[in-house]
Structure 1
Amino acid sequence: MKYLFLILGFANFSVYAADWPTYRADASRSGVTAEQLTLPLWEAWKHQPLHAPRPAWRGPAKRDLYNKVGVLKNRQLFDHAFHVIADAGNVYFGSSADDQIHCLNAVTGKEKWTYFTEGPVRFAPTLHGGKLFVGSDDGHAYCISTDGKLIWRQRLAPRDYRIAGNNRIISAWPLRTGILVLDGVAYAGAGMFPSEVVHIVAFSAANGKDQWRATQTDLPAQGYLLVSDDRVYVPGGRSNPVVLNRTDGKRLRTVSGSGGTYALLTGNTLVFGPGRKGQLGLVPGESKDIFATFAGNHMIVSGEKSYLHADKELSVLDRVRYLKLEGERKQVAAQREQLGKQLAQLRKQKSPELPNVQEQLIAVGRRLDEISTGMKACVLWRVDCAQPHALILAGKTLFAGGNGEVAAYSVVDGKQVWAASVNGAALGLAVAHGRLLVSTEKGTIHCFTSK
């Protein structure tokens, strides 16, 4: 990532500008940049491609009457907009409609070049070392220069076998994870049908040659990959993510939960969702089980705080204290359950120890009430938010995408400090070099800057 520091001697502030080199900024998919945009923003340009995105999957049914779920969440919402990445001079995106990688001039929005693949490009490119890394539904990984020239092309699919998919001809092993690059190694998944064997591949960023290849026959690979220092996390579409050893690709575990392609890492702690009901599950590093759940669609982790983004509200949580209390709550709840069983036995035996256990049970109940009160107090502020589709953090400003608009909120108190209209539902957000880039489900890309 390139950093640019502009020190303005005539003012008491500095502007910190950086690339947005991959989907949601980094390999953790944090959605966080230190760059602070000066509000208000104004639309600098708008790019409207000839065709809107063509998602791979339709949305879910409106409701699940059998399980009494009123509104079902879309757990495969990864290609409903042209998600962008950007450096100082260019904005890049892939298209599921015309099979191309596009490069726009970051200042004017004018198209500079395009590069054709042989299938839909459903995921944003990754910019690393001055090169673009792109996966296509044609089963290949591409390395392209920032002026649109092919450097190498490598088939990650086990063989070149094409099928009909989404009214197109695609590989039986499309790349539906995006590509991440870390320390000279690229990572991607090929395949969406476990019966055909799904491949997770680590390969050289220099030439595309395999370094290791893991296969799975139980789960697909769909959704943006995440990578930590020692782990690779592979979303499974409507299924749950798989955790692999980054060194050799050995599967470590499949985490529990309700599925979904939205995910982020904080260290080796995974947060993912939204499941069927709009819930995010938090899975600690060495566990496969969900430790805590949060009602919402997205989360931003910054320091000791978590910003939670739900359908109608935005809130900030003292995450460290909350998780500490959640751990204690689980222990005390288990103690209460054990005491309850013990009390039932003592009643049958008419034991003289009965009053003592009753007192313990009452004390444990009081402690649970205290913990519950403490957990509620961990919410530092909560505000109404009518933009439920996307959330990022830029400096001290949260940007949220909604239906026909994008809005900014202060991290200090949650106050809405700016808003602007966009063409359609704002599903993708990025901040780079003084620009807010907004991608909508109609294919439109808006660029907002300070005047």
Structure 2
Amino acid sequence: MYYLRIFSFLFLITVTLQTTYGQYFDWPMWRFDYNRSASTPEQLSDSLFLQWEMQFSPRSPVWDDPLNQNLMQYDRIFEPIVTQNKIIIGFNDQDKVVAFDLNTGQEQWHYYADGPVRLPLVSNNGKIYFTSDDGYCYCLKSADGSLVWKLMLAPGPNKLLGNKRLISMWPARGGIVIKDNILYTASSIFPMMGTFIYAINADDGTILWKNEGTGSNYILQPHNSPAFADIAPQGSFVISDNKLLVAGGRSVPAAFDIKTGEELYYH
């Protein structure tokens, strides 16, 4: 029921915005914007009320071992986005993205990937973007869920078993962030296998730059011994000024130049 309560609470917020102002206001990405400010200029009414609710199965998080389960929680709960009078969520247990009508809760469309959808979705200019453990980045029309483009972020089609699922050897767990119609994401979670960080044209999926060299960096590790390793992209990215902050799972984030993809900082 914990997951249902969170979902219902978020829906209450969107319904109140609609009731107060006579229209819906978008919540286009995790924590609202590319700064992850978790703040919208719109105002909530003092009265919140439930219009509908829906029960879903518990999430199937990727990291559920005692060491990591409290450090990497990026897919433990639903992280809905709101756009065009729809609330849209990704499922890490059913490999799909589903859009529901905000007024009724009725399903409007769904789209299946070839692996779990673990990171929050993003809406931009009438399109929905997400990544999957299948190693791809997807772009759908928010109106009907039809595919606009998909781009393989992994360097090849190789598969392996991960979390009892057949997934890419380089799962795409770089949580998408978009600024000025440029999408930033990444694939691969083990630096020794290579990591691939991208800037992509959000309209057509054209790659603007790709950083694939950080996995071979020889740096001092937290256990005070050097190794060939760097950032392992896992979690939602953040944009701050001209820097792309790449989440690193349970490690500290890395900073990249947003225009060139050059790594500026990692420790």
Compute the TM-score of the two structures, normalised by the length of structure 2. Answer: 0.82
Give secondary structure in 2 for the equivalent of 1:101.
strand
Give secondary structure in 1 for the equivalent of 2:31.
helix
One-letter amino acid of the counterpart of residue 182, structure 1: K
Determine if contact 2:24/2:85 at 8 Å carries over to the other structure: no
Q: Determine which structure has more spread, i.e. the larger CA radius of gyration.
A: 1
Structure 1 pair 15–45 and aligned structure 2 pair: CA distance change class (3 A): closer
**Rounded Cα–Cα distance in structure 1 between residues aligned with 2:87 and 2:105:** 8
**Rounded Cα–Cα distance in structure 1 between residues aligned with 2:71 and 2:181:** 31
Aligned to 1:32: 39
* Pairing of 1:42-53 with structure 2 (within 5 A): 42-49=49-56, 51-53=57-59
Aligned to 1:204: 201
Aligned partner of 1:153 among 139, 150, 157:
150
Aligned to 2:232: 220
Determine if contact 1:126/1:133 at 8 Å carries over to the other structure: yes
Higher strand share: 1
**Rounded Cα–Cα distance in structure 1 between residues aligned with 2:139 and 2:147:** 6
* Shift in Å, 1:220: 0.7
Determine if contact 2:120/2:236 at 8 Å carries over to the other structure: no
Aligned to 1:184: 181
Aligned partner of 1:57 among 53, 63, 67:
63
Give secondary structure in 2 for the equivalent of 1:195.
helix
* Shift in Å, 1:123: 1.2
**Rounded Cα–Cα distance in structure 1 between residues aligned with 2:22 and 2:39:** 16
Aligned to 2:104: 108
| Equivalent pairs, count | 233
Determine if contact 1:123/1:177 at 8 Å carries over to the other structure: yes
For residues 142-167 of structure 1, what are the alpha-carbon distances to aligned partners after superposition, in whole Å with 9 as ceiling and x for unaligned? 01001110011110111111110010
**Rounded Cα–Cα distance in structure 2 between residues aligned with 1:186 and 1:203:** 5
Structure 1 pair 132–56 and aligned structure 2 pair: CA distance change class (3 A): same
* Shift in Å, 1:16: 9.0
For residues 42-91 of structure 1, what are the alpha-carbon distances to aligned partners after superposition, in whole Å with 9 as ceiling and x for unaligned? 21111223x32110101535xxxxxxxxxx98110100012100024100
1:231 lines up with 2:238 in the alignment: no
* CA root-mean-square deviation: 2.0
Structure 1 pair 129–88 and aligned structure 2 pair: CA distance change class (3 A): closer
* Pairing of 1:286-365 with structure 2 (within 5 A): none
Determine if contact 1:220/1:236 at 8 Å carries over to the other structure: yes
* Pairing of 1:328-407 with structure 2 (within 5 A): none
**Rounded Cα–Cα distance in structure 2 between residues aligned with 1:190 and 1:201:** 9
1:251 lines up with 2:257 in the alignment: no
**Rounded Cα–Cα distance in structure 2 between residues aligned with 1:73 and 1:82:** 16
Determine if contact 1:189/1:199 at 8 Å carries over to the other structure: yes
Determine if contact 1:57/1:76 at 8 Å carries over to the other structure: yes
Give secondary structure in 1 for the equivalent of 2:134.
coil
Aligned partner of 1:134 among 130, 134, 138:
130
Structure 1: state its 5+ residue gaps. Answer: 1-5, 7-12, 62-71, 256-451
Aligned to 2:13: none
Give secondary structure in 2 for the equivalent of 1:43.
coil
Give secondary structure in 2 for the equivalent of 1:23.
coil
For residues 29-48 of structure 1, what are the alpha-carbon distances to aligned partners after superposition, in whole Å with 9 as ceiling and x for unaligned? 11111222212312111122
Determine if contact 2:63/2:69 at 8 Å carries over to the other structure: no
Structure 1 pair 149–88 and aligned structure 2 pair: CA distance change class (3 A): closer
**Rounded Cα–Cα distance in structure 1 between residues aligned with 2:50 and 2:241:** 38
Aligned partner of 1:78 among 74, 79, 90:
74
Structure 2: state its 5+ residue gaps. Answer: 1-16, 216-228
**Rounded Cα–Cα distance in structure 2 between residues aligned with 1:24 and 1:89:** 18
Percent of matched pairs sharing the same residue? 34
> Which of the pair has the greater relative contact order for Cα pairs under 8 Å at 6+ separation?
1
Compute the TM-score of the two structures, normalised by the length of structure 1. Answer: 0.49
* Shift in Å, 1:228: 2.8
One-letter amino acid of the counterpart of residue 258, structure 2: R
Determine if contact 2:92/2:117 at 8 Å carries over to the other structure: yes
For residues 328-369 of structure 1, what are the alpha-carbon distances to aligned partners after superposition, in whole Å with 9 as ceiling and x for unaligned? xxxxxxxxxxxxxxxxxxxxxxxxxxxxxxxxxxxxxxxxxx
